Amino acid sequence: MTSEEYLQLYKKLPLDLKDSLDSEETWDMLYNICEKNNILDKHQRIIEWACDVLLGILPPNEFREKLIKELEIEPEMEKKVFREIFRYIFFPVKRSLAELYKMEIALPGAMPEAAPEEKEKAEGEDIYREPIE
């Protein structure tokens, strides 16, 4: 992509995604995550991919796939790095990312949401409770 194409994408973003991209704190956080996990040599690629996620180019699930396939780090390390990046970089702008990608974005390792029919049962009358008079 050209810098002009990146700029056009940036202009269309919601304010919180722009703020995240413009924030020195975001990039410091990524650096710190890489440093803490001894993968500073892979820092630049991780920054590029995180930037692509925030711009709407790379869906978060594909970001994780890139960590697995292209960084060649141990699975446990990949999982830890992804969780930290998700928690500190993507989760604060989760709603905007979900809108941008038109997909549900859940915290890694979180319990899946109940199926609609299970929700209806849960919201209905509890057959195990005795009525209060």
Structural domain count, the chain = 1
Residue at 129 is within a domain? no
Q: Is residue 92 classed exposed, middle or buried when 0-12, 13-18 and 19+ CB atoms within 10 A define those classes? A: middle
Q: What are the backbone angles phi and psi of residue 9, rounded to the nearest 5°?
A: -60, -45
Q: Is residue 3 classed exposed, middle or buried when 0-12, 13-18 and 19+ CB atoms within 10 A define those classes? A: exposed
pTM beyond 0.95, yes or no: no
- pLDDT score, position 55: 93
Segment 50-77 shows an average pLDDT of 89
* Lowest mean pLDDT segment, chosen from 13-17, 55-59, 64-68, 111-115: 111-115
Question: What rounded mean pLDDT belongs to the chain?
Answer: 82
Residue at 133 is within a domain? no
Residue 74: give the domain boundaries.
3-123
Residue at 39 is within a domain? yes
